[in-house]
C-alpha cells in the first residue's frame, strides 16, 4: 500500500491485481480520491454486453472523452476486461457510489445486473462505470490513467 506521503502528493499507486478474488473489489487512494479496483467475472462481462443492457446507458461507447484515457474508450472501459479501475466519485455532485454487485436485489429491482449506486440522489452506473439514462449523473465515472507493469502489478496515476 502507498505511504501517507504518497497518497497526499498524488504519487502513482501500485497494486497487485492477482490478489483480488473474482467478483471482488478493493478501494485504493490516489490523489486523495477513492479508486475502485474490481476483478470482473465472465458472467459480469457477458451481462454488460447484452443489447438490452446497453440501450439503458447514456454513453455506452464512452464517447465523452474526458471520462477515460483513450486506451480505456472500449466496451469494458479498461486495458484488460477482467480488471476495472475507476475513480469512485459520482459525476453528479461527488458522492461515493456504493458497490452493488448482486443481481436483482430487492431495493434496485429485477433488471439490476450489478453496478454502482450513488446513495445521494440515486444515480446508477454499471460495472464498467457507465451511467444509466434518467439519473442525475451526466456522465460515466472517470477512469484514471494507469498501466500494467507486469501481470502482477498495476500502476495507477501513470499511463
Ligand atoms: S452525487 Fe451521486 S447522484 Fe448526486
The domain limits of the chain are: 14-156
Global confidence as pTM? 0.93
Residue 134 Cα to ligand 1 midpoint, Å, equals 13
- The whole-number pLDDT of residue 46 equals 97
* Domain 14-156 CATH (choose: 2.102.10.10, 3.40.640.10, 3.40.50.300, 3.40.630.10): 2.102.10.10
Mean pLDDT of all residues in 131-144: 98
Residue position matching grid coordinates 439514462: 133
Q: Is 159 in the pocket of ligand 1 (CB under 6 A)?
A: no
pLDDT at 147 over 60: yes
Q: Give the ligand 1 atom nearest the CA of 95.
A: 1
Cα within 13 Å of Cα(91), Cβ side: 22
Report how far residue 143's alpha carbon sits from residue 77's, in angstroms, rounded to the nearest whole number: 8
Q: Is 141 in the pocket of ligand 1 (CB under 6 A)?
A: no
Amino acid at each position: 500500500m502507498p505511504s501517507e506521503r504518497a497518497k497526499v502528493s498524488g504519487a502513482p499507486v501500485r497494486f497487485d491485481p492477482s490478489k483480488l478474488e473474482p467478483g471482488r473489489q478493493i478501494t485504493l487512494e490516489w490523489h486523495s480520491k477513492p479508486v475502485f479496483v474490481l476483478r470482473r467475472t465472465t458472467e459480469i462481462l457477458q451481462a454488460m454486453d447484452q443489447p438490452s443492457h446497453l440501450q439503458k446507458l447514456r454513453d455506452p461507447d464512452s464517447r465523452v472523452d474526458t471520462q477515460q484515457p483513450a486506451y480505456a474508450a472500449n466496451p469494458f472501459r479498461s486495458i484488460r476486461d477482467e480488471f476495472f479501475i475507476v475513480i469512485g466519485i459520482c459525476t453528479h455532485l461527488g458522492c461515493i457510489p456504493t458497490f452493488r454487485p448482486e443481481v436483482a436485489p430487492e431495493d434496485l429491482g429485477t433488471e439490476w445486473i450489478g453496478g454502482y449506486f450513488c446513495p445521494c440522489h440515486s444515480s446508477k452506473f454499471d460495472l464498467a462505470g457507465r451511467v444509466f439514462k434518467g439519473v442525475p449523473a451526466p456522465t460515466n465515472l472517470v477512469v484514471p490513467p494507469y498501466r500494467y507493469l507486469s501481470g502482477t502489478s498495476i500502476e495507477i496515476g501513470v499511463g
